[in-house]
Amino acid sequence: MNLEEDIHNNLPFPSKLKKYALVRGSYLYYHYKCDGVNDAGWGCAYRTLQTICSWIVKQENIKYLVEIPSINDIQTALVKVGDKPESFINSRQWIGSLEISYCIDYFYKILCRILHCKDVKEVQSHTSSIFNHFQEYGSPIMMGGDRDCSSKGILGICETEIGMHLLILDPHCRGPTVSKENLQCEGWIKWLKIDDLDHSSFYNLCYPLLKAAV
């Protein structure tokens, strides 16, 4: 695989910036079909998990250095921990933030915090929690929802004079990727105003509780 690294670098901030906090350390951008598996339409959370795993294995303070799990590895792990039946393996079933937390614990012995937000207004109320996470831990966050069922990574947060924005890493690119600049231009990494999230959806956030080594 030829995966792009740290695709948020040099992405401009929204105008009228007041403060920000970003992921610390490097990661690889995993997306639909990046390893030859055609997961378009169902694999977005698996790809977000793989991106988080790539960040984890680059940390010098992690003791469990294992390879980035494949989609099959992830499905097998969820069966082994008792979360899914055997029929889940080789299926095209979606996973969400809770399953992500199980896998990060299974593969790396790292606990995660799950934050349930019933709507966008509640996401807005937890922006200080997101700021604090990036300042204390610096690890990527997974975001999933129900009406908004497109899993995404959160790599940062910023406050501007017109509102709060999240730095969204979107795994739905069907590749092949050309360059960081191309990915930025196409919006696979972008600043999104929180108020532009789906107001009919709840959101679950998964915070990996591993502190960045840098």
CB count in 10 Å sphere of residue 185: 11
Cα dihedral 73, 23, 14, 193 sign:
positive
SS3 state at 130: helix
Beta pairing partners, 167: 156, 191
Do 100 and 53 contact (CB within 8 A), yes or no?
no
Q: Is 146 one of the annotated active-site residues of the chain?
A: no
From the list 103, 158, 170, 206, the catalytic residue is 170
Instruction: Please enumerate in sequence order all residues whose Cβ is within 8 A of that of 181, keeping only pairs 6 or more positions apart, or say none.
Output: none
Gap between the Cα atoms of 214 and 199, Å rounded: 36
Does the annotation count 6 as an active-site position? no
Tally DSSP H helices, then E strands, for the chain.
6, 7
126 is catalytic: no
Q: Which of 105, 126, 172, 195 is catalytic?
A: 172
DSSP string, 55-109: HHHT-TT-S---PPPPHHHHHHHHHHTTSS-GGGTT------HHHHHHHHHHHH-
Active-site pick, 44, 53, 112, 173: 44
Phi, psi of 98 (to 5 degrees): -65, -45
Active site residues: 44, 170, 172
